[in-house]
Chains A and B, each alone.
Chain A
Amino acid sequence: MNSSTINSFPSGASGHGTVTRQCVRDLRRALGRERVLATPEELIAYEYDGTIERGKPQAVVFPETTAQVAAAVRVARRFDVPVIPRGAGTGLSGGAVATVGGVVVALTRMKRILEVDPENRFAVVEPGVVNLDLSRAVASHGLYYAPDPSSQRACTIGGNVAENAGGPHCLAYGATTNHVLGMEIVLSDGEIVQIGGRSRDVPGYDLTGAFVGSEGTLAIATKIVVRLMRMPESTRTLLAIFDVLDDASNAVSSIIGDGMLPSALEMMDRNIIAAVEPVIHSGFPLDAGAVLLIEVDGLDEATREQAAEIERICTRHGAREVRLAVDPPDRERLWAGRKTSISALGRLYPNYYVLDGVVPRTRLPGVLRQTYAIADAHGLAVANVFHAGDGNLHPNLLFDEREAGVLTRVLDAGAEIMRLCVAAGGSITGEHGVGLEKRDFIGWIFSESDLAAMAKLKTAFAAGDRYNPCKVFPTHRGCGEVTSARAQATAAAVGGDVYV
């Protein structure tokens, strides 16, 4: 170990420099001592996010202003160390893990809502603002922020921008990319640039659109202009109970195909119901093959018509019962069942691994059947709770990590299910991102030439591999060693507070 290296990460493992004592001193000088962590004990909490991935940063900084972000980035550049932007650390693809060491820039202290313009329905926020806090802050104007990842009580808008986060209600209103108008970003040399703006149309390439979902690899967003939406005057929530899972899948296709445009359309299978119902009592029958949780919102007249038609469609597809939530507490109960689904799995198995894949909606019945078959072939149980209306699957592989060799089977089954999504014409991720977890899968859907075109965007942002190296694209020269780090990390515990 180099005597001036702060912790045990091997110097230059990623082709980058390392965080020396002098680098930490410079970070402290630039940001203030209280905004820099660098001792091994302090750094432990920043080794992981919501996944099984692990990586030790060598310093974590907590800037409170754009100028401090820029200062930290400039110091990192001077010492040629990578910068890993981080929000609340709820990500599900290892995007905030310092996989090759470096400086984590934690944006959680930049949590001011700088401006709310109710008339023009936008807000300007710092990246550390928690998703749900934004909706709460604008509720008095009758407005809300539409993207609602299930981690919305904890996750930040900056993290949402990085991952292009979705959520149940992005079926009708789109994911984060449809709700960001512009940003202030800090480039890897510390330069501060505005992209997009408050007005809807800014001349030039849509850099905002390309930036959302770039997983922290291009720049750090320090101010974000987000669209706000008017709260609907009416919301109707239905629970459709099916004996046969395939019937539920076919009902999903019909609801969408008939143009009903629900705001949310979620499916939970028998294994999820078995985990959730005894605890939450949402009214999901234990003997059902699957339930659909369907929500429509808008004008009272519209939701009444939609709800009636959706009920007819579900019945036509063999729903045993379709129940309309009678009041807000009833609706809350139904959603509580959905939102606690995954954590409730802990009742059945000590560990679970959440997958995220997408298929065309019409392929849901076959793909779900094969998902069960794949899990079965690997001797694993699987529970499905997912955004059916988007075709966005979240199979949860259930296991006990104490069982010898089980993690290999879990990862193998996960990879097979991803292959299945790709073969069905879908994608390896609908909302969790590629990050570290799926970096080696991206070649399944994109050719070398596709990835080469994407790499041009890194050059355009002058990002090189300074921001979040070894994520998304398996290209960097030092990234080969990361795979083994991941394999080692796999031995660590899986599970915890996971939201989808």
Chain B
Amino acid sequence: MSSVAAAPALEEFIDAVCPPIERNRVRTAGLASFEIDGDRPDIALWPATLDEVARILSEADEARLAVVPLGGTSHAALGNIPEGYDVALSTTRLDAVLEHEPADMTVSVQAGVTLASLQRLLAGHGQTLPVDAPSTDASTVGGLISSNAQGPLRHAFGTVRDWLIGTTVVHADGTVSKSGGRVVKNVAGYDMHKLYVGSLGTLGVVTEATFKLAPTPRVDQTLVARFDSPGDAGRAAHQAHDRSLAVHSLELLSPAAAQHALQIPLWCLLVRSAGLPGAVDRSIRDLNTIVLEHRGKLDSVDAICWSAWAAMFLDPPLALRASVLPSQVAAVLEVMDRSFAGAAARASATVSAGLIRLRLEPTREERGPALIQRARDIVARFGGSVIVEAAPVSVKHAADVFGELRSDFAIMRRLKQECDPRRTLSPGRFVGRL
């Protein structure tokens, strides 16, 4: 909607924010890389300080310009089509590590720090932020928080929600607020930072974040177990989970996904066993027993296959994420695999979290909206929910990304209204097109 902001209004806005923003950190052309759902902003800005973010937001709010905060844009496909998109606010210049005291196992960073550089810094101290969302070199901490992106480490480490202990946020009117802090245990005030995780920048722009950290495992081995039936694979996954083994990731892959990531056209469990050496040895022995009991076969594989796994879910034509109960995962996957055979479905599930990722390729016969509806019908039978992680804009016009609203939507609407009354921030992108 590059025409929403009339040229004079845009000029006024630029004058209002420059200075403090230097002109070379403002761009009004060549904005293809900021495209969201086929729409380009009129202007992109790269603030370098908290105050500059506040200035941009308060001026945009005043001028009724719609702002979408962006990091590395690797998950920009998530969300409903923005109702307005005048200003792209890039956080990539906010790239300072604010505090890292290794012995405290916490780190505070600005939102534009890339995940890759953060992990490199931490690795030097034998530490990690244990979230392995499919990402690119450009993916940022802020993007991770606002998209709640996640990968196979979800099995043992949850999501970024479980590691985020404090945030600083700039709200639409330019006010700045923080919540939480820099200590690992803290119950002072409301945990506002929980609300920002996965909120797609609709409540504020996260500018700083503090995380607790995990130690890098001393031993880290990747294994694959292949099975003839999804039932066997699912039961084996459950048993492995139930024994509390030293397992950091446990993904159940459909044959098409396993073919892509592992060149094995069978139902597979892709497992990362990690921790102290004795615990890993014992875990692999137990895994082998469990796999054999379920008529499967366990082998070691190169950890590089995790990259192949992640590649399936970067830039997919259509990607869905279903949430069901862990015990239902194998059954849902089996139905989906049959039902979506024509759409080149590749599915991978974090069984213990009840999380199923589905990558689809719509065809002329099976168009996106119909595929989404079918997935929702299948999952609804199990009482779960489906969100669209990525889809072409034409599909988003026909299907809501987040599905049906629930009884708590009124609370969410009031929250949005309170935090962003003029709907300046990422308008329309979130649940219920907030």
Residues in A lying within 8 Å of B, measured CB to CB = 117, 119-121, 163-164, 166, 170, 174-175, 177-178, 192-195, 198-207, 209-210, 212-214, 230, 232-233, 253-254, 256-261, 298-302, 304-306, 358-362, 387, 390-392, 425-434, 438, 442, 445-447, 449-454, 456-457, 459-462, 472
Contacts and interface: CB of A to CB of B under 8 A. Distances in A.
Contact of A257 (B105, B175, B178, B216): B105
Contact of A204 (B182, B277, B412): B412
Contacts of A447: 177-178
Contact of B183 (A261, A298, A359): A359
Among B199, B242, B244, B409, max chain A CB count under 10 A is at B244
A452 B177 CA distance: 8
A193 B411 contact: yes
Given A166-B185, A207-B408, A259-B215, A301 B418 contact: no
Given A213-B191, A459-B414, A119 B327 contact: yes
Contacts of A261: 214-215
B323 interface: yes
Contact of A434 (B171, B188, B414): B188
16 contacts: A177-B191, A177-B194, A178-B158, A194-B407, A199-B325, A203-B403, A207-B412, A210-B190, A233-B244, A257-B104, A360-B104, A361-B105, A391-B185, A427-B187, A450-B189, A452-B175
A212 B402 CA distance: 24
B132 interface: no
Contact of B412 (A199, A205, A451): A205
A209 B384 CA distance: 20
B327 A362 contact: no
A299 B37 CA distance: 48
Nearest to B281: A301
Nearest to B276: A305
A309 to B, nearest CB: 8
Contacts of B182: 360, 425-426
Contacts of B414: 459-462
B387 interface: yes
Contacts of A205: 195, 198-199, 203, 412, 415, 431
A189 to B, nearest CB: 11
Contacts of B324: 199
Given A206-B198, A253-B103, A453-B177, A299 B282 contact: yes
Contacts of A390: 183-185
A452 B197 CA distance: 20
B36 to A, nearest CB: 19
A200 B354 contact: yes
Contact of B283 (A178, A299, A358, A392): A299
Contact of B195 (A210, A257, A298): A210
A430 B406 contact: no
- Which A-B residue pairs are the 3 nearest by beta carbons? A259-B215, A209-B194, A453-B177
Contacts of B106: 360
Query: Which secondary structure characterizes the binding site on chain B?
Result: mixed
Contacts of B283: 299
Contacts of B199: 205
A454 B176 contact: no
B158 A431 contact: no
Nearest to A142: B242
Contacts, number: 253
A108 B122 CA distance: 46
A487 to B, nearest CB: 23
B383 interface: yes
A318 B126 CA distance: 24
Contacts of A174: 162
B213 to A, nearest CB: 9
Contacts of A260: 215
Interface in B398-434: 402-403, 406-412, 414-415, 418-419, 430-431
Contacts of A442: 188-189
A172 to B, nearest CB: 11
A201 B161 CA distance: 12
Nearest to B238: A119
B240 to A, nearest CB: 12
A430 B353 CA distance: 28
A472 B190 CA distance: 9
B169 A453 contact: yes
A304 B187 contact: no
Contact of A170 (B177, B185, B242, B406): B185
B190 A214 contact: yes
A426 B355 CA distance: 35
Given A175-B187, A204-B431, A390-B184, A302 B179 contact: no
Interface in B204-245: 214-216, 238, 242-245
A427 B385 contact: no
Interface of B: 101-106, 126-127, 158, 161-162, 169, 171, 175-179, 181-192, 194-195, 197-199, 203, 214-216, 238, 242-246, 275-279, 281-283, 321, 323-327, 353-355, 383-385, 387, 402-403, 406-412, 414-415, 418-419, 430-431
B406 A202 contact: yes
B311 to A, nearest CB: 23
Given A164-B191, A456-B418, 10 more contacts: A233-B244, A257-B102, A298-B279, A301-B281, A391-B183, A451-B189, A452-B177, A453-B171, A456-B419, A459-B414
B162 to A, nearest CB: 6
A462 B417 CA distance: 12
A301 to B, nearest CB: 4
A210 B194 contact: yes
B411 A305 contact: no
Contacts of B407: 192-194
Contacts of A259: 126-127, 214-216
Given A202-B385, A450-B177, A119 B326 contact: yes
A445 B188 contact: yes
Contact of A206 (B101, B194, B323, B409): B194
A361 B384 CA distance: 41
A164 B185 CA distance: 10
Among B158, B245, B325, max chain A CB count under 10 A is at B325
A73 to B, nearest CB: 16
B276 A302 contact: yes
A390 B281 CA distance: 30
Contacts of A203: 385, 387, 402-403, 431
A457 B216 contact: no
A445 B384 CA distance: 40
A212 B122 CA distance: 30
A214 B412 CA distance: 17
A220 to B, nearest CB: 14
A206 B197 contact: yes
B161 A206 contact: yes
Nearest to B217: A259
A418 B123 CA distance: 34
A170 to B, nearest CB: 7
B244 A306 contact: no
Contacts of B275: 302
Contacts of A177: 191, 194
A430 to B, nearest CB: 4
Nearest to B171: A453
A454 to B, nearest CB: 5
A298 B286 CA distance: 14
B186 to A, nearest CB: 4
B409 A429 contact: no
B42 to A, nearest CB: 29
Contacts of A256: 103, 105
Nearest to A458: B190
B408 A358 contact: no
Contacts of B178: 446-447, 450
Contacts of A214: 190
Nearest to A199: B323
A456 B323 contact: no
B186 A454 contact: no
Contacts of A163: 187
